[in-house]
Chain A
Amino acid sequence: DAGVTQSPTHLIKTRGQQVTLRCSPKSGHDTVSWYQQALGQGPQFIFQYYEEEERQRGNFPDRFSGHQFPNYSSELNVNALLLGDSALYLCASSLVSAAQGSGFGQGTRLTVV
């Protein structure tokens, strides 16, 4: 969805480092969801934020954490990076009451070396 923006578009980090990815939702949306898409796989749900709190969480370790700000933008933080964290990280926004799924931002390609 053209309205969801993510930064940066590409990032290279070293094992053990920490990374922060950012997402600005489409105007008017109040809910932000984060997904991890490994190469050749479908996206996997990490977590969702609504009203600045984690509303839902997928099966990801505590190294993955997030935050939502009063303007509804969100950050995804990953600590102690592993090679296996290399993936495309996608952000999607919606209204919490939405009947239809929302679109994704263009994603952040994270490479851990």
Chain B
Amino acid sequence: GENVEQHPSTLSVQEGDSAVIKCTYSDSASNYFPWYKQELGKRPQLIIDIRSNVGEKKDQRIAVTLNKTAKHFSLHITETQPEDSAVYFCAASIGGGADGLTFGKGTHLIIQP
């Protein structure tokens, strides 16, 4: 089955700097790659996603890039703010948005004031 690796496990950046979280996947049939943000004690929230027919997608300060050949995708957050502090999860699925997702282990992003 699919395996998703996520790095780093913890990332500390200064407020205003950029943060990059990287994930790799194993199944070349995967075609949907969402990113979730989970604050302490809350449910994961979908923040951005990308499909395999697109190389990059941007939404304000966040962007996701996908390299199908290398089977890796990344989350980029620019101009980080204290409210960006959370655990971020990448995920992958084969069938699209409705199919079961395989998640990475998460990245704890810490924004230093």
Contacts and interface: CB of A to CB of B under 8 A. Distances in A.
Chain A CB within 10 Å — which of B6, B100, B101, B106 has the most?
B100
A107 B36 CA distance: 15
Nearest to A56: B100
B81 interface: no
Interface residues of B, number: 25
A99 B96 CA distance: 6
Given A42-B105, A42-B106, A107-B43, A98 B89 contact: no
Interface in B15-55: 32, 34, 42-46, 49, 51
Interface residues of A, number: 29
Interface in A61-89: none
A82 to B, nearest CB: 22
A42 B91 CA distance: 9
Contact of A100 (B49, B89, B102, B105): B49
Given A45-B101, A90-B43, 14 more contacts: A33-B101, A40-B106, A41-B105, A42-B106, A43-B101, A45-B102, A48-B99, A48-B100, A58-B100, A94-B98, A96-B98, A100-B97, A101-B46, A105-B43
30 contacts: A41-B106, A42-B6, A42-B91, A42-B104, A42-B105, A43-B101, A43-B103, A45-B101, A45-B102, A48-B99, A56-B99, A56-B100, A59-B1, A90-B43, A97-B98, A98-B96, A99-B97, A100-B46, A100-B97, A101-B32, A101-B34, A101-B46, A101-B91, A101-B93, A101-B97, A102-B97, A103-B43, A104-B44, A104-B45, A107-B43
Interface of A: 31, 33, 35, 40-45, 47-48, 56, 58-59, 90, 94-107
